[in-house]
Amino acid sequence: MKKIISFFTLLLYLFFLGGVITAQTADKEATKETKYLLNNLHKQTAQGIMFGHQDDLAYGVGWKYEHGRSDVKETAGQYPAVYGWELGRLEIDATENLDGVPFNKMKQFIKGAYERGSVITISWHLNNPLTGKSAWDPAQGTVESILPGGSKNELFKSWLDKIAAFFLDLKGKRGEFIPVIFRPFHELNGSWFWWGKNHCTPEQLKQLYRFTETYLRNEKNVHNLLYAFNTDRFVSTEEYLERYPGDEYVDIIGFDIYQKGDILANDKFIAEVDKSLAMLEKMAAERNKIPALTEFGYNTVPDAYWWTNVFYKALEKHAVAYALAWRNTGKKSIDEIEFYVPYKSQVSAADFKKFSLLDKIIFEKKVKKNKLYSK
């Protein structure tokens, strides 16, 4: 069947394949590996979509910290191309992040994935610096308090010092800094986090994003980061760009979206993802940014054919760099379980394997051949 490709997807293909785009990293002093990653992600986006998974190597359904294990590998036959990790609680000197992953283990997982040619993306659900509670404590005035001149600005800078040290400790075998896609203050158009829409003005959020990046770059000499700006689901480009800090501060643009409800919601999910990706691609093409599906998922994946009949149908007309599935927590309580990719014998496992073999979808074997960190 002939595939229909959107105008902006076609435009991206023509640009990338023609080699006319040379992307400038938001950090003009970025390491050469980081610059290579940005340019190669632009080229690779025209070839297919990398599949990613949060906390993939740390744990899965029914297991934790077993060397070499991965729910993705056990169902698809290979590791993902993108690994997501989380820094929440590093700012308060915890040894484990808010999901229980030890930071020392995380560094080893990141180094191993980098050596295999895969991509690293890191989020930060940092505590509320005004109240001392979690990221989900949406106290009014928090953002204002950590901006320059605010009562908690020095505290916030001390937190940035700690994540800077983490990033600067990520080194490859040649001593080079490992590039990371850093996505601070994600889902900022929602209101569940203290940096969310109802708790600060658009200008305050822009200032926070710019201050964070400038401090890491200029004060801490962190030059191995690509910066991702991502919202939650959105309905218009105006909504998406309301809190956008400016092209000079962003390398990657994306959004998070989760399917909820039963399989009767499949068609609605396909339509929403399709429409959102079309808007995202247009914004990315206009700004020479990399589009990505920064988080997605359908908890417990109850539809046996969801990967090929739903998720792939939402993606197939589009050119985005990667899609990151959320984590496989496993059993959270007696009557609650959480996972976003199948494990062995799960109802959608066979379909996930089929999905992983589609030409457009990229897992570890394909991404390794692309040599994303080389010229």
Catalytic residues: 187, 295
Residue with tokens 């969310």, as numbered in its chain: 196
Query: Which among 107, 71, 57, 48 is positioned nearest to 372, based on CA atoms?
Result: 48
| Residue type for position 6 | S
Q: Are the C-beta atoms of residues 324 and 216 closer than 8 Å to each other?
A: no
DSSP for 25-90?
PSSTT--HHHHHHHHHHHHHHTT-EEEEEETTTTEETTEES-TT--HHHHHHSS--SEEEEE-TTG
What lies within 8 Å, CB to CB, of 93 at 6+ separation is: 162
Q: Provide the pairing of β-strand 252-258 with 225-231.
A: parallel
Residue with tokens 């990613």, as numbered in its chain: 52
Q: How far apart are the first and last CA of the chain?
A: 36
361 token code pair: 């979808």
Distance CA 132, CA 314 (A): 40
Residue 355 DSSP SS3: helix
Evaluate the CA torsion angle 324, 328, 329, 334 in order and state its sign: positive
The single-letter DSSP state of residue 175 is S
What lies within 8 Å, CB to CB, of 71 at 6+ separation is: 53, 56, 60, 61, 328, 339, 341, 342, 343, 344
